[in-house]
Structure 1
Amino acid sequence: MSHLAGTWHLKSHHNVTAFLHKIGEDEEFIKGAEEDKPKLSISFPDHEHVVFDYDGKFGKHEEKCKFGSVCEHKSLHGRKFKSIITKESDNCMKSDIQDSAHPAHRVYELIDNELHLTSIAGDVKAVSIFTREH
């Protein structure tokens, strides 16, 4: 089982506003995201899939993806995009967001028992740090 599995609470985020602007999110969503402190649950129902459950200001949202396959998503405010997620190790997953207008990359990595979500779009890098729920 991956060390990334569990429920995580947002502790802090850095440069998220710039990242959201870069990927084309609307102003209302960006303002709400700045104030949100979501809970993120990550589970692995089998060796081929990962499930992300988000619970925050914009409601609850679940995404199930198969490693190495194109996964279709809908952002919390309705924007559609695709990604491919890969499991690099028990401590790291990478997601390549395939949006022709706003391509981006995300890395989910366990560092010092915290989940670091690094989001990169062009020259903009954002980091969100989550602590594990006990």
Structure 2
Amino acid sequence: MDMKLEFIVLPVADVGRAKDFYKGLDWREDADVGEGDGRVVQMTPPRSNCSIMLGPSLTPAAPGSIQGLCLVVDDIEAARAELVGRGVDVSEVFHDAGGGLPRANAQGRVPGLAPDRQSYFSFASFNDPDGNGWILQEVTTRFPGRLW
């Protein structure tokens, strides 16, 4: 049985503001339908198969409460520079002192690229206007069994 992650609902306070933010990142607008509490906007990052869905009544979660959303990039420094160039407040590149994935709090974060620029272990982070938290993760070589 195929199961594919198609979209993630993001809780936002202002759908129009959120849409403008993600359009500013060059995300594709897939849909903008309805009005008021029935408005739904769907946006997709470049070359992604998974979208975000924004709408005032799609989830009971508080605006900005989603953390740890991951965007995989093949060059963390170039991706960070592009986001900064688009006006996004992005952290400096970091890696985890234990050689693993970033923790929810900043403890254990070490400035700079992962040793030997090992795939999967260099990160940067940013928030959308509501505070939903994104992680950029550099992946240059996939773990065995991964399709892309």
Whichever of the two has the greater Rg, that structure is 2
Which has the larger share of helix? Answer: 2
Considering Cα pairs closer than 8 Å and 6+ residues apart, tell me whether 1 or 2 has the greater RCO: 1
For normalisation by structure 2, the TM-score amounts to 0.32
